[in-house]
Amino acid sequence: MKVYPLDLAELIRTRDWEGIYALIISKLPLIIAAAVILIVGFVIANLLGKLLVKALEAKGVDPSVHHFLRVGFQLILKFAVVLSALSALHINVNSLVAAVGAAGVAAGLGLQASISQIASGVQILLHRPFKSGDFIDIGDVSGNVQEIKMMYTTLITLDHRRVIVPNSHITNSNIINFTAEEYRRIDFDFNVSYDTPIEDVRRVLTTVTAVNPLIFEDPAPTVYVKEHGESAIRVVCMIWCRSTDYWPVYYYMQEEVKLAFDKNGITIPFSQLDLHIVKDSKKQRKFP
């Protein structure tokens, strides 16, 4: 009986087809077991990926992160299944794992910036400090969130400019979300003359706020004297509205208050400086 080497590479090098066939027949149970592991493992990985998406949906995670997490999760599971199938064939997978690990470290060093962006994107999508449609301020730029991607977030500014912000910059900055809450208070400062009665100012501002249906009656608008300035009394008017109505209410107040002040004779003084000249009553001394 002819004895064939168990080294498949040697059989292929020598083109010993009979030996290759004999080796396959001898390893057939192991090959079948490995194939079953691959098929069942891949099916389970796909099923677990779908279950992960349903869990993310139940948690309210942004849909844009579902595909990324599902694919990453399934790749990890499928890689583990492949290693299990190779182990079933009595193939030493330690060298393969070491090679993959070394390649991963090298890729991580080369793609460090990109990996940081992706990690920041996952953090934003999981913790959800804002969502699409929110108006946010991140220090040097503000606008409505149009799109959240794994690498960057797109904002549309008030003058309709598109700004692409790296996600790592967002996670390292203070984020102000102006539309996270349904209601918002707006504070207006107005300077009026010292000669103007405070009750007249309060009456005019209250009338202006009562006309606009976007301004809440409860909580009611409030008017207080904020500061005694050098040339005017500073009055603050605090009103409440929906966050989505902020800009219409803001511009309404800026225009209507000026018109109402003019109509009621309330002046907004310019900055003033009083100069007093003191005349010396003593005669100027003459020196010899």
| CB 225, CB 233: distance < 8 Å | yes
Give the pLDDT confidence of 153-190 residue by residue, as tens digits. 899 998 999 999 988 888 888 889 988 889 999 999 99
Residue 259, phi then psi, degrees to nearest 5 = -65, -40
Give the pLDDT confidence of 23-68 residue by residue, as tens digits. 667 677 777 888 888 899 899 989 998 898 888 778 776 666 677 7
What pLDDT was estimated at residue 1? 42
| Cα 124 to Cα 180: distance, rounded to the nearest angstrom | 15
| Cα 190 to Cα 86: distance, rounded to the nearest angstrom | 77
pLDDT > 70: percent of the chain: 74
Tokens of 10: 């040697």
Tokens of 172: 């390292």
CA pseudo-torsion sign 249, 253, 259, 263? positive
| Cα 263 to Cα 204: distance, rounded to the nearest angstrom | 10
| CB 239, CB 215: distance < 8 Å | yes
Q: Which domains does the chain have, with CATH numbers?
A: 8-110 (1.10.287.1260), 123-177 (2.30.30.60), 183-263 (3.30.70.100)
Give the pLDDT confidence of 66-102 residue by residue, as tens digits. 777 788 788 888 888 888 887 777 666 666 666 666 6
Tokens of 47: 């099923």
274 contact partners, CB below 8 Å, separation of at least 6: none
Q: For the chain, give the mean pLDDT.
A: 81
